[in-house]
């Protein structure tokens, strides 16, 4: 089975308190994904000009890619940078999660198991009626 | 092998499902509902358009377009829809925030809606700018011909005395020129 890479991208702004927990969850998720699906999860953090110790903390993490901006440009800018970074890599796609640690990374498997659905429709009028 | 290579190009997490235990603050819940209807006005039926747990496949990534630096969640959906890419949803769970605070504030809807309109205009330049611009120019020129006719038969003393005519021509020219400039910019950046 050939190994495919998916980037998991985490934009971060002043999240030093949440980073350890996110990093541990990401490492666990990476192990599960390689074992169960043969997918290499490449962890990419983007520090959007944090003024707390987020950058220092991120530098301590192993096996992650760290991108950063020296000024806080906004979440949209961080996502654009992460999309560009994935575009230039050989990843087949990217997950984007928030840097606040609210996401349950076990849900990654739902994406990979194809537990998704599509809501067809629609016009605005139908949505109100 | 994972099903992620199915033809779903963009997949959004959905926090609003029947088995979810997450209690979202009321204001954010209302905001999310509001954007659900905004997205429906673009014919995108998605349960949770403000969600940050997203999968983007390479097909989306290779030609993505996001305007501004504020946020991208809704623009990704619109961009995908305008490119006829398949959008899926998956039910997810959320835990309350441990520490820190969200960047979302009162200016969120204003900036996001402005950016959505800008993206729509950028992507649909012909429909939104060039076609109405040319139509306006056409009406302007027809009025001009009529004015010349009236001047020739002596009904009017000046060729251009009609302010509506000038309005149509100036408005049409501005729309068309803006549209063509955007098209040139798009072609160059591709």
List, in sequence order, every residue forming a beta bridge with A65; answer none if it has no partner: A44
Candidates A79, A88, A124, A127, partner chain B, best to mutate (most B CBs within 10 A): A79
Residues B31 and B97 in one domain: yes
CB atoms B93 and A107 under 8 Å: yes
Helices B131-152 and B163-189, interaxial angle, to 10°? Answer: 150
Q: Which chain B residue shows the shortest CA-CA distance from A6?
A: B57
SS3 assignment, position B2: coil
**Is the minimum CB–CB distance between A51 and chain B shorter than 8 Å?**
no
Tell me which residue of A101, A120, A93, A88 sits closest to B87, measured CA to CA. Answer: A120
pLDDT of residue B3: 52
Other Cβ atoms less than 10 A from the Cβ of B142: the count is 12
Residues of chain A neighbouring B115 (CB-CB closer than 8 A): 76
Residues of chain B neighbouring A121 (CB-CB closer than 8 A): 40, 43, 45
Assigned token pair, B14: 């959905």
Domain residue ranges of chain A, discontinuous segments joined by +: 4-128
Residues B103 and B13 in one domain: yes
Assigned token pair, B166: 């000038």
Banded pLDDT at B156 (limits 50, 70, 90): confident
Residues B35 and B87 in one domain: yes
Residues B16 and B65 in one domain: yes
Residues B26 and B101 in one domain: yes
Cα–Cα distance, B9 to B55 (Å, whole number): 8
Residues B13 and B90 in one domain: yes
Residues B45 and B57 in one domain: yes
Percent of chain A with pLDDT over 90: 80
Residues B104 and B131 in one domain: no
Angle at A57 between CA A51 and CA A62, to 5 degrees: 145
Residues B88 and B101 in one domain: yes
Q: What is the interface size between A and B, counted as CB pairs within 8 Å?
A: 161
Question: What's the average model confidence in pLDDT over B76-98?
Answer: 89
pLDDT of residue B103: 63
Half-sphere exposure of B157 (CA within 13 A, CB side): 0
Domain housing B54: 3-123
Q: What is the pTM of this model?
A: 0.86
Residues B21 and B110 in one domain: yes
Contacts 24+ apart (CB under 8 A), A57-64: A57/A16, A57/A19, A57/A20, A58/A12, A58/A19, A61/A19, A61/A23, A63/A27, A64/A23, A64/A26
* Domain total of chain B: 2
Question: What's the average model confidence in pLDDT over B137-162?
Answer: 90
Which of B101, B123, B145 terminates a domain? The answer is: B123
Cα–Cα distance, B54 to B57 (Å, whole number): 10
* d(CA A38, nearest CA chain B) in Å: 7
Domain A4-128: give its CATH architecture.
Alpha-Beta Complex (3.90)
* d(CA A76, nearest CA chain B) in Å: 4
User: Which value does ipTM take for this structure?
Assistant: 0.90
Question: What's the average model confidence in pLDDT over B133-142?
Answer: 96
What is the pLDDT tens value at each position of chain A, 129 positions in all?
578 999 999 999 999 999 999 999 999 999 999 999 999 999 999 999 999 999 999 999 999 999 999 999 999 999 999 999 999 999 999 999 999 888 999 999 998 887 677 776 655 555 543
> Is residue B33's pLDDT more than 80?
yes
Residues of chain B neighbouring A120 (CB-CB closer than 8 A): 45
Which of B123, B153, B178 terminates a domain? The answer is: B123
């Amino acid at each position: 089975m050939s190994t495919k890479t998916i980037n998991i991208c985490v934009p971060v702004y002043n999240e030093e308190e949440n980073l350890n927990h996110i990093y541990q969850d990401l490492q666990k998720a990476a192990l599960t994904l390689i074992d169960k699906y043969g997918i290499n999860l490449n962890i990419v953090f983007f520090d959007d000009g944090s003024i707390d110790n987020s950058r220092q903390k991120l530098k301590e993490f192993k096996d992650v890619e760290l991108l950063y901006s020296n000024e806080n440009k906004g979440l949209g800018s961080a996502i654009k940078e992460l999309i560009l970074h994935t575009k230039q890599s050989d990843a087949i796609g990217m997950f984007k999660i928030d840097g606040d640690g609210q996401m349950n990374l076990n849900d990654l498997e739902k994406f990979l198991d194809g537990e998704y659905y599509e809501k067809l429709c629609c016009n605005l009028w139908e949505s109100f009626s | 092998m994972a099903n992620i290579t199915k033809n779903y190009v963009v997949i959004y997490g959905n926090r609003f499902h029947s088995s979810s235990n997450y209690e979202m603050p009321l204001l954010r819940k209302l905001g999310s509902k509001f954007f659900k209807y905004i997205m429906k006005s673009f014919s995108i039926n998605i349960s949770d358009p403000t969600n940050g747990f997203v999968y983007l496949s390479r097909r989306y990534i290779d030609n993505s377009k996001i305007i501004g630096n504020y946020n991208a969640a809704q623009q990704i959906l619109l961009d995908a829809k305008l490119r006829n890419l398949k959008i899926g949803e998956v039910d997810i769970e959320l835990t309350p925030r441990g520490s820190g605070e969200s960047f979302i504030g009162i200016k969120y809807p204003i900036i996001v809606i402005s950016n959505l309109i800008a993206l729509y205009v950028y992507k649909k330049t012909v429909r939104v700018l060039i076609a109405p611009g040319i139509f306006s120019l056409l009406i302007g020129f027809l009025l001009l011909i009529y004015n010349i006719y009236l001047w020739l038969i002596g009904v009017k003393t000046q060729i251009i005395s009609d302010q509506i005519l000038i309005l149509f021509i100036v408005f049409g020219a501005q729309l068309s020129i803006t549209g063509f400039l955007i098209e040139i910019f798009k072609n160059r950046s591709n």
